[in-house]
Structure 1
Amino acid sequence: MQNLFKKIYQFISNKNRLKIEILKWIAIALFGFCFSLGINFLSPILAQSSPSSLIQQGVQLLQQGRAEAALEVWQQAEVIYRKNNDRIGEIRSQVNQAQALTSLGFYRRSCDTVLQAFNNDLQCERLTESDLKNVLPRFNTSNTNLNFQGLQSLGNGLRVLGKLALSQRVLEASFPLVTSQNIEGRLLLNLGNTILSQAQGIANFKLRGKAERKAIIQGLSYYEKAVNISDEELIKIQATINHLSLLLELNRQRQNNSGDNWLQPHVQFQIDTLPQIIDILNKINPSPNSIQATIKFAEILMNFEQINAKSTVAQLQTNFAELTLPNTINEQFLNQAIQQAKIIHNSRLEAYAIGTQGKFYQNIGKLENALNLTNQALAIAQKISASDIAYQLQEQLGDIFLQQENSSEALLAYKSAFNTLQVLRRNLVALNRDIQFDFRANIEPLYRKLVALLLQPELGSTQPKLSYIKAAQKVIESLQLAELDNFFQNACVNAEDINIDEIDKNAAVIYPILLDNQLSVILKLPGTDNFRYASVSDKNFAAQFQETLFNLRVNITTIRGINKVKLP
């Protein structure tokens, strides 16, 4: 780099004024090019910076959504702190690196980084209850705030990896380190988030016992206390919105919403607090966390119509309708989130916000607007390689095309989403736990939508194309593998495609899949391309199937109970 500028200087000294002007523009373009390439070109300069200034630079980069650049800056700071024998600074830089790794989606590596920063030679994925006896005492540097920050990062990391009981234990161990109400508010917010994750992680959640109800009440109470004691606007926003999300999660997952009067004080908290939060959201300075909260709030508002009218939570619908027009404020918040994401140059949040706005227009029937916005968001997501956002936008495109009765374009969109998700599948367990916990709601339907379109009969026939039957077979196999990954929380990275004929030439394989009001079955017989397909459908088929399945489970439970009875 120095030789390059030396040659430019020599060249300037021998040329006329016009060429000097040209070279000035070349120099500007060169610096712009270096900046666009990221921080790697600037590493020698960073090495000469003070580590504290590097910490601040990393914070600014992360605010802009440039997590990779922030990570490298903090790595540079760590090296300098280590050379200076500054152990506190070294740990701080490593804890900051964990934040950047989380933003990049490297959740295991992020969690492990926090452990190793405090001299724990362990991996979060294998951490057990007994390990905490040795792990927790190591968060004992002379800097109390750093110890607290480390425990929060570890607790949040364990939550993301699905170790919810350990997450709660680690976060609760932070209480003795609380030095202010704002710090306590942050701790209570994180504890509430762990309990929210527990609620999201239970399929068909039912409050069957006092223990479950007590846990939910505790989570709601954590959020409420965080709002009441903290002066930080962002904590108030996040705690209120997550509190609302937990209430709606309970409403969504419980099939029978009667007998939920115990939620009344928590619903009243929302009624009293929400107007204040809306006012804060309109005024707060933009940051990645505040923009995420704004988008999340808009998403929650889009789901308000799904609240069971007989539930206690339904009071929120009435109150919010009186407070403002839901569609108007939703559009306002999404426009605000898009503009703020642009202001802080965060392309990931921009794609997320524009995509959510596309979903909003889809919900209210403005399909052309929805299509344009979703395509716009997808282009941004693909440009920054945000595959976890891209597959959802591709699926959203498929949904919009279906609403427009354009099956061919819908099929192409679902195929693209499926292919993107296949790339992500091996990292499914490393994805944010919000995605994993909502596997049945957010990921599984994509497979079923694609299979449903592939198995549409050809024109003038009762059977799909053979090539489509084969493609549907592959999708069903991928769904089964993804279900195993999600169940065991461990991606089957060593899974290999093996033709069944190589194992048993006379074997037949049955591929059943439940679609909307339809049971479809693919039969793979011995030989090449030897498939059979059949389906059973009825407008009430799905409900009847679920009722039969429920009765079967009841009978199995009853039989097990009888078998446990000891006869005299």
Structure 2
Amino acid sequence: MIYKKYRRLLILIFSGLLGLLSTITIPVRSHSLNLQALSNQSCSSASPCPQQNADAGALELARDGERRYNAGDLEAAAQLWQQAAESYEKIGDREGMTKSLINKSQALQDLGLYPKACKTLLQVFAIPNPNCSASQIEQLQKNLTQKPDSLTRTQAIGLQSLGDVLRRQGLLQKSQEILQLSLSSLPESPAKSAVLLSLGNTERALGNQIRDRWDYDLVTEIIDRKSVIDALAPYQKAFNYYQQAVNIASAPAIPKVQAQLNYFQLLRETQEWWNEQTNRRIASWKRFSEAKLIQRAQDFNSQLQSQLSQDAQTLQNQIPSQLATLTPNRAGIYAQINYAESLLHSNQTSEVESLLKNALQQARTLQDKRAETYALGYLGKFYRQQGELTQATQLTQQALMLSQEQNITGDAREITYLWQSQLGGLLRKQGNSKGAVAAYTAAFNTLQSLRSDLNANNQDVQFDFIQEVKPVYIELVDLLLKSNLSNEELNYLIVPNPNLNRQKAETKKAQDRLELARRVIESLQLAELDNFFQDPCSETTNVAVQIDNIDPSAAVIYPIVLPDRIEVILSLAGKPLQEVKIPIQESAVNETLDRLYDYLDNSSINNSARNIFSTSNPNPRELKENIETLLPIFAEVYNWLIKPFENQLNSNQIQNLVFVLNGRLQRVPIAALYDGQKYLIEKYSVALVPSLQLISPQKLQRQKLKVLAAGVSEQIKVQGEFFAALVNVPKELEQIKQTFPGSQKLLNQEFTAKTIQKNLQQNYPVVHLATHGLFSSNPQRNFIITGDGQSISIDELSNLLKETGTTVELLVLSACETATGDERAVLGLAGMAVRSGARSTLASLWPVGDTSTAVFMGEFYQHLKQPGTKQIEALRKAQLSLLESLKSNPTFPELKNLPPHPYYWAPYVLVGNWQ
């Protein structure tokens, strides 16, 4: 079912507790301000005010709005406050109208209708034809900054509400600026506490964005330096604002306790994150007996955990007494649920049941159905944790039914999917696998219906989104792959895709089960890519794409790491999907992949290939030991992904292997998988895709091929950092020019953003950039260096490529690298293609020598020029050329009996269309 209202988003996902419960700032002071201010007029029956009847009518509408709001009827509350605003406007009461509009915007925010909430708030400031565009927000900010004394207290509160809306739309910097303006416009008063709370929430979102985009090396450096200050730096402003909100003695109870709750939860989440990161590095250093590094990491973690635990305990001592003072209302109910969930998460369950039962009773007294479904659902979660599965199931079903009832008149999908997935987990735990599949499928369908909403309009939650919803996808895939459901049962599960190609009747059962699993994994890949860029960058084909429609000589391989096994799905043209199960624990898979990374590319490990090759005189003995250690690991991954399908690949004359990777597999150089005799690239061409649904399968038109080739060969300084000279870049560009005479060459000062933009108008299907650059989990840190000493971000480059209207078939990023150890960095390469309109990207996973890069690129373009040669084949032939050269002329005699080290030739990856 597709819902008509697309702007009600996952308010519940902003923070780790899945929740609105940690971030919602229901401005009760805003509602009470409205009614209190209106009721304090010096009017009586003996001395009536002018237009008293009109005032009374508007006041009654406002009070009805508050009653409806507190009962959870948000649509009705918004309508009543709109009517109140119109009534006040008719009688010329600007203040009454302003307060009613602010209240209306809060109800709209709670519904997830952020554009409408934003437009409503712009009416408060008399913005004509409000559309909440960036220019309107900018103009409003400029006007108010020039006249800060012109703001009334009510308008300052309106600014706070606007800051909340902007945060929920992902405009974090603008939210911060608007909230600062609100704070500076308020006199010293209790109202400041709520603004400080909102500022804390915005800084928390900014902190999440910063921390989650740190690459492996940066986190390792912080641990190695034992820098607690740097570890907490992303959240220090949030900590400070929350503490300031609490310290305002005259502040109302609600914003104060909400600040304490958010602070408490942020401390707990930060503890968990750093504990996981530190233990991961300790595990790596133990492999190499790095005693000093291990001790430093343990000292760092002990110091950090002690500090955070002490702060959390202080808050935990304060929160219960604060909760006890709250008046039973919507905000108070959510505060209790928030605290209960935080305690549940940290296995402190003694107070949880009474907190949730009290919240449930209050919700029923207020007839607040939304609050009631939350209280029921989290009670179900509590009983599940206690092992009382029957009671947990009953409560979860009640919560789900209540949320589904609200979907009839409104939209409670952001609640519904929570209880659908929780029910799935409970049914699975009780052995009801069919019921569990149905419940998880319902959650999956609900999330799919929300996908465009999340992309379009609630961007601050997206990074957390993938962390929170990924278990729904993985659990469903796990169950589907284990299931023996009939065709009829399967057909009722997932919203049907009318373009789904069905196989012959005799293979339909196996095909359907695997096809549904494949679709779920594809959906997860799309969600992760959208989430990476935090906007709807991936326009899918909206069909179930089959390899038959793209390349009959290719096989698509989907490795899925599950808790107790690896499942690998194989897609061959004209054949039903096939699967194999590798019985290995997820922890063992991750340990193997971490070992591979440690020996190959971990800069904190002395004997990693990266560090050995970076020295001026590599030690041949160390190189020999390194490759001898790596080969068995590459062989183990080969045995997982390729060996089970060797016969099928051979009998079907497969030439190209296309991998859809997730998690830590994304940083594996797949071409270097080893069968004991040969590398994978010696048998097949290899490419990566984020999803088949993003592939435009057209082949490169060789007769029109010309390249826009730009590069930087000189040492260059950008923002205080020196980038080494790439002395072979002129040779690299000249080779391209000779191979494709119609090409354009831009070297050093000729290579600027403007010259790229100008030349792109000449319709170059291939763009080659030979310069320093980086791709990481942080789109803002994805950049390339131009010859005028500037950097072009991924967004700027994408815009340059799109503005010309030219379709770039292939974007080659020579000398650029992906961030060390960054599992999501390959998404940067995929996203570069998707966002820019380029159909594929060729880049490297780690820095490659300048000389070998020039040789490799020359080989690549020579092969690409040949009629009928696909990009994937040209890449393979160029890599094989390096391999054969190294076999004939090994770097050291000690290596002559070993396969050439993958560090020389394996980092090059083709992401996207491989044709």
TM-score normalised according to structure 2 size: 0.50
Equivalent residue, structure 2, for 1:391 = 417
Could you list the per-position Cα deviations for residues 285-321 of structure 1 after superposition, in whole angstroms to 9, with x for gaps in the alignment? 111111111101011001114xxxxxxxxxxxxxxxx
2:257 alignment partner AA: I
Of the three residues 254, 257, 268, the one matched with 1:234 is 254
Q: Go from structure 1 to structure 2 and tell me whether the alpha carbon gap of 1:129 and 1:106 turns closer, same or farther (over 3 Å shift).
A: closer
1: CA distance, partners of 2:146 / 2:81: 22
Is the CA contact (8 Å cut-off) linking 1:67 and 1:103 kept in structure 2?
A: yes
Q: Go from structure 1 to structure 2 and tell me whether the alpha carbon gap of 1:511 and 1:406 turns closer, same or farther (over 3 Å shift).
A: same
Equivalent residue, structure 2, for 1:531 = 577
- Show structure 2 runs of 5+ residues with no match: 1-52, 280-297, 486-507, 616-714, 716-722, 728-915
Of the three residues 261, 264, 271, the one matched with 1:251 is 271
Partner of 1:405, secondary structure, is coil
1:473 alignment partner AA: R
Equivalent residue, structure 2, for 1:417 = 443
Could you list the per-position Cα deviations for residues 146-186 of structure 1 after superposition, in whole angstroms to 9, with x for gaps in the alignment? 22111111111111122222222221122322223412221
2: CA distance, partners of 1:155 / 1:502: 50
1: CA distance, partners of 2:259 / 2:550: 56
Matched, 1:521 2:576: no
1: CA distance, partners of 2:138 / 2:609: 34
Could you list the per-position Cα deviations for residues 68-103 of structure 1 after superposition, in whole angstroms to 9, with x for gaps in the alignment? 011111221232233334444333332222111111
2: CA distance, partners of 1:285 / 1:150: 24
Of the three residues 349, 368, 382, the one matched with 1:360 is 382
Q: Go from structure 1 to structure 2 and tell me whether the alpha carbon gap of 1:49 and 1:78 turns closer, same or farther (over 3 Å shift).
A: same
Is the CA contact (8 Å cut-off) linking 1:457 and 1:464 kept in structure 2?
A: no
After superposition, where does 1:257-296 map in structure 2 within 5 Å?
258=298, 259=300, 261=303, 267-296=309-338
Equivalent residue, structure 2, for 1:220 = 239
2:262 alignment partner AA: N
Q: Go from structure 1 to structure 2 and tell me whether the alpha carbon gap of 1:332 and 1:455 turns closer, same or farther (over 3 Å shift).
A: same
1: CA distance, partners of 2:433 / 2:401: 22
Q: Go from structure 1 to structure 2 and tell me whether the alpha carbon gap of 1:168 and 1:409 turns closer, same or farther (over 3 Å shift).
A: same
The worse-fitting range, judged by mean Cα deviation, of 496-505 and 343-352 is 496-505
C-alpha RMSD over aligned residues: 3.5
2: CA distance, partners of 1:502 / 1:94: 56
Q: Go from structure 1 to structure 2 and tell me whether the alpha carbon gap of 1:377 and 1:228 turns closer, same or farther (over 3 Å shift).
A: same
Q: Once the 2 structures are TM-superposed, how far is the Cα of residue 530 of structure 1 from its aligned partner? A: 2.7
1: CA distance, partners of 2:529 / 2:418: 21
Partner of 1:513, secondary structure, is strand
Matched, 1:488 2:533: yes
Q: Once the 2 structures are TM-superposed, how far is the Cα of residue 130 of structure 1 from its aligned partner? A: 6.1
Q: Once the 2 structures are TM-superposed, how far is the Cα of residue 509 of structure 1 from its aligned partner? A: 3.5
Aligned residues: 499
Is the CA contact (8 Å cut-off) linking 2:168 and 2:461 kept in structure 1?
A: no
1:242 alignment partner AA: N
Q: Go from structure 1 to structure 2 and tell me whether the alpha carbon gap of 1:376 and 1:139 turns closer, same or farther (over 3 Å shift).
A: farther
Matched, 1:428 2:448: no
1: CA distance, partners of 2:135 / 2:610: 37
Equivalent residue, structure 1, for 2:73 = 66
1: CA distance, partners of 2:54 / 2:479: 56
Equivalent residue, structure 2, for 1:497 = 542
Q: Go from structure 1 to structure 2 and tell me whether the alpha carbon gap of 1:439 and 1:541 turns closer, same or farther (over 3 Å shift).
A: farther
Equivalent residue, structure 1, for 2:157 = 149
- Show structure 1 runs of 5+ residues with no match: 1-45, 306-325
Equivalent residue, structure 1, for 2:767 = none
Is the CA contact (8 Å cut-off) linking 1:203 and 1:253 kept in structure 2?
A: no
Higher strand share: 2
Q: Once the 2 structures are TM-superposed, how far is the Cα of residue 517 of structure 1 from its aligned partner? A: 4.8
Q: Go from structure 1 to structure 2 and tell me whether the alpha carbon gap of 1:162 and 1:256 turns closer, same or farther (over 3 Å shift).
A: same
Could you list the per-position Cα deviations for residues 393-444 of structure 1 after superposition, in whole angstroms to 9, with x for gaps in the alignment? 1111111122223222211111111112222222124676675342233101
2: CA distance, partners of 1:455 / 1:219: 43
Matched, 1:541 2:563: no
2: CA distance, partners of 1:549 / 1:133: 51
Is the CA contact (8 Å cut-off) linking 1:518 and 1:538 kept in structure 2?
A: yes
Is the CA contact (8 Å cut-off) linking 2:148 and 2:185 kept in structure 1?
A: no
Equivalent residue, structure 2, for 1:24 = none
Q: Once the 2 structures are TM-superposed, how far is the Cα of residue 521 of structure 1 from its aligned partner? A: 2.7
Q: Once the 2 structures are TM-superposed, how far is the Cα of residue 273 of structure 1 from its aligned partner? A: 4.2
Higher helix share: 1
Of the three residues 382, 388, 395, the one matched with 2:404 is 382
Q: Go from structure 1 to structure 2 and tell me whether the alpha carbon gap of 1:75 and 1:567 turns closer, same or farther (over 3 Å shift).
A: closer
2: CA distance, partners of 1:117 / 1:375: 42
Equivalent residue, structure 1, for 2:351 = 329
The worse-fitting range, judged by mean Cα deviation, of 130-139 and 504-513 is 130-139
Identical-pair percentage:
35
Is the CA contact (8 Å cut-off) linking 2:547 and 2:572 kept in structure 1?
A: no
Equivalent residue, structure 1, for 2:62 = 55
1:99 alignment partner AA: Q
Q: Once the 2 structures are TM-superposed, how far is the Cα of residue 57 of structure 1 from its aligned partner? A: 2.1
Of the three residues 198, 203, 208, the one matched with 1:195 is 203
2: CA distance, partners of 1:57 / 1:475: 45
2: CA distance, partners of 1:104 / 1:390: 14
Q: Once the 2 structures are TM-superposed, how far is the Cα of residue 225 of structure 1 from its aligned partner? A: 2.1
2: CA distance, partners of 1:526 / 1:567: 43
Is the CA contact (8 Å cut-off) linking 1:200 and 1:249 kept in structure 2?
A: no
1:203 alignment partner AA: D
Q: Go from structure 1 to structure 2 and tell me whether the alpha carbon gap of 1:530 and 1:373 turns closer, same or farther (over 3 Å shift).
A: same
2: CA distance, partners of 1:550 / 1:480: 23
Is the CA contact (8 Å cut-off) linking 2:566 and 2:584 kept in structure 1?
A: no
1:225 alignment partner AA: Q
Matched, 1:159 2:167: yes
Matched, 1:108 2:115: yes
Q: Once the 2 structures are TM-superposed, how far is the Cα of residue 139 of structure 1 from its aligned partner? A: 8.4
1: CA distance, partners of 2:317 / 2:54: 48
Partner of 2:320, secondary structure, is helix
The worse-fitting range, judged by mean Cα deviation, of 66-75 and 113-122 is 113-122
1: CA distance, partners of 2:532 / 2:151: 40
Q: Go from structure 1 to structure 2 and tell me whether the alpha carbon gap of 1:78 and 1:391 turns closer, same or farther (over 3 Å shift).
A: same
1:241 alignment partner AA: L
Q: Go from structure 1 to structure 2 and tell me whether the alpha carbon gap of 1:263 and 1:547 turns closer, same or farther (over 3 Å shift).
A: closer
After superposition, where does 1:418-497 map in structure 2 within 5 Å?
418-429=444-455, 435-456=461-482, 465-491=510-536, 495-497=540-542
Q: Go from structure 1 to structure 2 and tell me whether the alpha carbon gap of 1:229 and 1:383 turns closer, same or farther (over 3 Å shift).
A: same
Equivalent residue, structure 1, for 2:98 = 91
The worse-fitting range, judged by mean Cα deviation, of 48-57 and 482-491 is 48-57
